Amino acid sequence: MLVFSKARLVFLSVPKTGTTAYQAALAPHAAMVVSDPPELKHAPVFRYNRFFRPALEKFIGAPLDVVAVMREPVDWLGSWYRYRRRPFMKGQRNATHDIDFDTFVDAYTKGERPSFANVGSQAKFLEPQKNGTAVTHLFRYEDQAGLKAFLQERLEITFETAEENASPAMALDLSEATTEKMRRKCAHEFTLWEGIGTGGAYRPLQPA
């Protein structure tokens, strides 16, 4: 998570959306860089609202805009699957070396996910809070040009990003049945992603 006091902007770090590269590039310009532990680096909206927002609004002032990135849901799971196939994961209970991608996604759609497929939810991460705290600018992971242009204009800087923490590329096959099941079981993920417009505009999904 990055905080830019002058620009009154907070950049949340949704896991597996390339934000590590932005953190590396923008850290010198940030008033606050939260890089560890992972629970705080990747603080979702509800944790930002509870622990960070009150202090930031007290010392910086309100309102603060919040920017985040969301990845196409199947592609997001593909990034998790590839990450958990890295050599250092071998032998760990969350490793995916011994299962194929179809099995991984099918396991993700279950009510009780096995540990290797228990990777959270982008929609839950981005869920608005009852007090109105929400992401104000949400960009698709695929729209790197739009995200970069927004940040450069808002922060009044120019910057370049380098690839950081990328998992090895590989072909990921998903059956039609599993694709259908995921779209049905995780409809809120697709609804949120498909509703993202240009310039970070989107319609937040309200809590159930």
Query: Tokens 């890089």 identify what position?
Result: 35
Q: How far is CA 11 from CA 32, 63, 125, in A?
A: 10, 14, 13
Residue 58's Cβ-count burial label (10 Å; 0-12, 13-18, 19+) is: exposed
The confidence score (pLDDT) of residue 62 equals 84
Give φ, ψ of 68 to 5 degrees: -155, 170
Residues 6+ apart with CB under 8 A from 68: 11, 12, 14, 17, 125, 126, 135, 137, 138, 139
The confidence score (pLDDT) of residue 190 equals 97
Helix (H, G, I), strand (E, B) or coil at 147: helix
Domains of the chain and any CATH numbers: 2-200 (3.40.50)
- CB count within 10 Å of CB 163 equals 8
Identity of the residue numbered 143:
D
The confidence score (pLDDT) of residue 78 equals 97
Q: How far is CA 207 from CA 53, 146, 189, in A?
A: 19, 27, 13
Q: How far is CA 55 from CA 3, 34, 39, 154, 183, in A?
A: 12, 14, 18, 22, 39
Strands (DSSP E) contained in 9-102 are 9-11, 32-33, 65-70
The confidence score (pLDDT) of residue 208 equals 61
The confidence score (pLDDT) of residue 97 equals 93
- Taking the complete model, does pTM exceed 0.85, yes or no? yes
Residues (pLDDT < 50) of the chain are none
Residues 6+ apart with CB under 8 A from 27: 2, 33
The confidence score (pLDDT) of residue 162 equals 87
Identity of the residue numbered 17:
T
The confidence score (pLDDT) of residue 180 equals 97
